[in-house]
Every structure is written in C-alpha cells, then in structure tokens.
C-alpha cells in the first residue's frame, strides 16, 4: 500500500503502525465536528479556493513535535506568519473532494520545506475550514513523520525559516496567550521558538490539543498584541 507518492500515484490514509501517543489525536480527528474547530466554515454555495495544509507530527529529542514554517516578511498575504506547510490545490493534484487535498498537502510541504513525502504517513483529515480574509477553503491533512528527512528553506522569497515545535512547549501554559486582532477578533496564540503562532494555524493547534486531551489550563486573559515584536 502506498502511503504517499507524487501527484500521479495513489495516495491513501493509513493508521497502521502509528505510535501510541498519537492515539488521542487519531480519536479527535475521527470525532470532531466542523463547528468545534471554527466558526468559519466553507460557503454553502461551493465558493472559495480549495487548499490544504499538512499537520505533520514527528518524534523529536523532546518527544512529539509539529513541523511549522515562517512565511517570508516580503509576501503580500500572511507575511512573517508561522503556518503549517500548504497552499492551493493544483489541477494535477486531482479531485478537491477526493484525495486532491492529500496530494496538495504533500506537494506543498515538499516545495516549501524540502521534506521527502515518501517518509510521511497520512492518517487523517479534519473537516474543511474557511479563511474569510483570503477566501481559502482549507483541508487540514494530518501525517506521521515515519521516516524524517532534512527540512529547511527552499525558496527564501516565500519562506523565512522551517522549524519544529515540541508539543510540550505548545501545551506549556507559560507559552500561551490570546491575541487581539486590530479588527477586534480574539484568538489563541503560542509563543514558541521565538515566534508568535496565531490566526488560523494557532486555532487548529488549540483545538487539536483540546480534543486530544493534551491541553493544560492556561490564562486566557493574558493578551499579546499582534505587533509584539515592534
């Protein structure tokens, strides 16, 4: 069975041989409802640009970790913002309602971080979500980094850095806060690896930690401004 391959081959989801510590994540992915993840859901009329992100769990020196990247500060949208690897579906990725998002998540991760998709075992997909500001309909695809390969910045014009974050740091109450967007929208944030993870990416991490039972109590009244570095 092919776990992952290029756009031409088949790509499948498999839960075979996952590490035990991923069990709570697998259960959460199987049971979570769209409205439990976000109040922003895809338009009923099918509008929006289909895209996918790869939520990649690996095993690091300090236990479970997630792969993130920081977008280049020169980019027009989401400049300097940490995110999961990902992007819009290409025609060759295939059916947006089928396994197109799986291929897109792997392809984009390879293009952005240089990882070898053949070492990634995809095991789950979260409900499609919507990013109103960009009009993207996003399919979060979850993977287990079965055979880790070196990663790094492929194109400095698009990516400032590629890094992993231990789940232990994401669950540490000292690293958690609430951001307040100039629009007034409040959302969860993580201060990790000298980065402020906020917005869509932080929202997914926050919900995954919550529904996996990994969340620890944290001070939701602690606020971090979005211009925290200036």
Q: What is the pLDDT of residues 202-214, one digit of tens each?
A: 999 999 999 999 9
The CA distance from 194 to 215, in Å, is: 21
Tokens of 30: 């199987």
Query: Which of 166, 228, 155, 230 lies closest to 198 in space, CA to CA?
Result: 228
* 9 — pLDDT class (breaks 50, 70, 90): low
pLDDT at 78: 57
- Which domains does the chain carry? 18-164 (3.90.79.10)
pLDDT over 50 (residue 200)? yes
Please tell me the pTM assigned to this model.
0.92
| pLDDT, mean of residues 163-185 | 93
CB count in 10 Å sphere of residue 63: 11
pLDDT over 50 (residue 154)? yes
* 71 — pLDDT class (breaks 50, 70, 90): confident
Query: Which of 97, 149, 103 lies closest to 122 in space, CA to CA?
Result: 103
pLDDT over 90 (residue 7)? no
Residue 200 backbone class (left: φ over 0; alpha: ψ -120 to 50; beta: rest) = alpha
Which backbone phi and psi does 169 adopt, to 5 degrees? -75, -35
Spatial contact of 42 and 130, defined as CB atoms under 8 Å apart: yes
Reported as a single tens digit per residue, the pLDDT across 86-135 is 999 999 999 999 999 999 999 999 999 999 999 999 999 999 999 988 89
């Amino acid at each position: 069975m092919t776990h992952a391959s290029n756009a031409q081959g088949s790509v499948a989801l498999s839960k075979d041989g996952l590490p035990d510590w991923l069990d709570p994540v697998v259960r959460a992915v199987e049971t979570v409802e769209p409205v439990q993840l976000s109040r922003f859901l895809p338009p009923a009329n099918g509008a929006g640009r289909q895209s996918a992100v790869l939520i990649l769990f690996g095993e690091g020196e300090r236990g479970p970790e997630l792969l993130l990247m920081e977008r280049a500060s020169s980019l027009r949208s989401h400049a300097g913002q940490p995110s999961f690897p990902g992007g819009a579906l290409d025609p060759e990725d295939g059916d947006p309602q089928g396994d197109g998002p799986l291929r897109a998540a792997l392809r984009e991760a390879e293009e952005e971080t240089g990882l070898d998709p053949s070492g990634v075992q995809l095991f789950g997909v979260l409900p499609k979500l919507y990013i109103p500001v960009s009009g993207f309909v996003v399919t979060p695809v979850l993977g287990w980094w079965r055979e880790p390969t070196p990663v790094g910045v492929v194109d400095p014009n698009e990516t400032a850095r590629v890094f992993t974050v231990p789940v232990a740091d994401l669950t540490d109450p000292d690293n958690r806060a609430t951001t307040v967007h100039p629009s007034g929208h409040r959302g969860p944030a993580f201060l990790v690896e000298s980065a402020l993870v906020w917005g869509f990416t932080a929202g997914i991490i926050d919900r995954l930690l919550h529904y996996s039972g990994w969340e620890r109590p944290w001070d939701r009244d602690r606020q971090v401004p979005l211009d925290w570095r200036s």
